[in-house]
A and B are shown apart, each in its own frame.
Chain A
Amino acid sequence: MKALVIGGSEESIETISLILKVRWRDLVVLHVAESGEALELARSEQPDIVMLHLDSASPGCFDLISQIRRFSNLPVIVLSDIGNVVDKVRALEIGADDWISRDCMPMEFIAKVNAILRRSYPHSNNHLSSFFNGRLSINYAAHEVCMLGKRVNLTPTEYKILYQLVRHEGSVVSCTDLLRSVWGADYEADPEFVKKYIYRLRCKLEEDPAKPQLIVTERGAGYLYSTSRYHPN
């Protein structure tokens, strides 16, 4: 788990690291004091969670949440000593996921962070921030897809379909589920739509789109993202 912690004293960073390491042994904490640098790191480092210290010395905290929300849906937690409900409501309304008092108990802190990660990364025990399996890599924050290190340009719909398949790697995703998650529950799209997009994806990702090995059709069931059937020539 990678956490980007913005602001706060060295001592408070150390406390946060100690507490979170009880639950996430592989924890990596990136600490920055400057908000400008924080934005850069939030983009480039793809942390799993952002923790922002809010105190009277850091009034720019709210702006920073808005700026992060312009390019990412990363979970954001505000850590503060201020018990002011107005500030708490403001932070939540501009995009923060939670507000945690700095004097909260360690187990409470862990439970809150875990609840937010569970909600933000529902299909991953590892709280995915990027996907890599040797051939295909996806940077979820930037929506960048690379095949064998080379950038592949996907349309937003193609990306959403690939994202769904990769999220359920190894399991069949039905056409109905793809339609619902990509086009929305209210949109009555033709299943043929999915077929067309799958074909386009294969043209961009597969060595031989006529004999797909990454995005496999499971007749009558749906589509499957699988690396196990891939046999390089």
Chain B
Amino acid sequence: MQNILIIHPDVAVRDRVRFLLQHSGFGVVGTTGAQEAMNELGKGCPDLIVMAEQSCTFNGDELCVRIRELCQAPIIVLGQYAEEAGGIGFLEMGADAYLASPLNMRELLARVRSLLRRYAEERQGASHGT
């Protein structure tokens, strides 16, 4: 089973995302913020991370950068604002996708699957070809 780590301070959003992902066959660990997420990452690397834009810093550092020091799993950032351009900084710091607000669950699931597919290929060393 592929495991996904959620980092989101809003319990309602976290639970909606957790429900969607669990019912789509993924193992899910929910965390409320950066500190708790870093503790989880210390135990092992998930297959994908979904994080809230609000949780973007850890001890003054960018959380994306700190995550990249520990693992290479794809990161999807759930944006606080409607402008996708707000995600440029996250993409430059190592995130793979930025989804502007409001969050569309179908799109989130499609992004999760697309990135997991690409990450699995990467890990199998078959980035190209059949």
Contact = CB atoms under 8 A, between A and B. Distances in A.
B67 to A, nearest CB: 14
A88 interface: yes
B54 interface: no
Nearest to B95: A115
B107 interface: yes
Contacts of A143: 129-130
A96 B114 contact: yes
A119 interface: yes
Q: Which of B92, B123, B128 has the most CB of A within 10 A?
A: B128
Nearest to A129: B128
Interface string A178-208: 0001101000000000000000000000000
A101 interface: yes
Contacts of A111: 87-88, 91-92
Contact of A142 (B91, B107, B125, B129): B129
A62 interface: no
B84 A72 contact: no
Interface in B94-130: 95-97, 104, 106-107, 109-111, 113-115, 117-119, 121-130
A112 B98 CA distance: 9
Contacts of B128: 72-74, 129, 140-141
B89 to A, nearest CB: 8
A115 B91 contact: yes
Interface in A65-97: 70-75, 85-86, 88-89, 92-93, 95-97
Contact of B84 (A74, A89, A104): A104
B72 interface: yes
B74 interface: yes
A104 B118 contact: no
Contacts, number: 96
Nearest to A89: B110
A108 B129 contact: no
Q: Which of B118, B119, B127 has the most CB of A within 10 A?
A: B127
A217 interface: no
Interface residues of B, number: 33
Given A85-B106, A160-B125, A181-B123, A71 B130 contact: yes
Contacts of B110: 88-89, 92-93
Contacts of B91: 111-112, 114-115
A72 B129 contact: yes
B124 A121 contact: no
A105 interface: yes
A106 to B, nearest CB: 10
Interface in B68-92: 72, 74, 84-85, 87-88, 91-92
A71 B117 CA distance: 15
Contacts of B130: 70-73, 143
A122 B115 CA distance: 13
Contacts of A176: none
A171 to B, nearest CB: 14
10 contacts: A73-B128, A85-B104, A104-B84, A105-B88, A111-B88, A119-B119, A120-B127, A121-B127, A143-B129, A160-B125
Interface of B: 72, 74, 84-85, 87-88, 91-92, 95-97, 104, 106-107, 109-111, 113-115, 117-119, 121-130
The 3 closest A-B pairs by CB, nearest first: A140-B128, A92-B110, A111-B91
